[in-house]
Amino acid sequence: MNMLWGDLEIKQATDGTRYIEYTERATKTRKGVTDDERMFKPKIFEQPGDERCPVKLYLEYESRRPLTCLRPDSRFYLRPNYKAQSDGGCWFVGQPIRKNTLCQIAKTMSASAGFTGRHVNHSGRKTLVTSLLNAGCATT
């Protein structure tokens, strides 16, 4: 919920492949001191030709955000603009999504995908990935 737009950055590998890198700020479990840093920053690489390419989706999200919400200190998750036209423009308003709405995302997506059991946003770290694999989703 506290993720900021500047926490993610598009970079390019030496072979030209683009990727999104996550920079973790200090949290209640990671204080950000030098002996508590991760060995490497989490990255997700583009998948050229895939309609669900994470870099492509990130850039689409960027293009649908209000210009005022592209600053590094802007909230990452924004409220939908229900008055937006489907053919273009901003799909979001310059306000962060509410906590309860954000907390329901994993539950709603899991139910839509036909998963059984309890899934919450934190499930994405392992449980959701395992569920996707068990459901036969592609690994690439």
pLDDT in tens, 75-125: 998 988 887 766 667 888 888 888 787 778 777 877 888 877 777 766 555
The rounded percent of the chain whose pLDDT value lies above 70 is 77
Say which residue the tokens 């926490």 belong to.
Answer: 7
Residue appearing with tokens 């506290």: 2
Which pLDDT does position 61 carry in this prediction?
92
Pairing mode of beta strands 43-45, 18-22: antiparallel
Question: Nearest Cα to 114, choosing from 80, 137, 94?
Answer: 137
Least confident of 6-10, 38-42, 92-96, 136-140: 136-140
What's the Cα-to-Cα distance from 105 to each of 37, 113, 124, rounded to whole Å? 29, 12, 11
3-class secondary structure, 128? helix
Mean pLDDT of 41-55: 89
Mean pLDDT of the chain, nearest integer: 80
CA angle 123, 102, 25 (to 5 degrees): 75
Q: Is the pLDDT of residue 28 over 60?
A: no
pLDDT, mean of residues 1-12 = 90
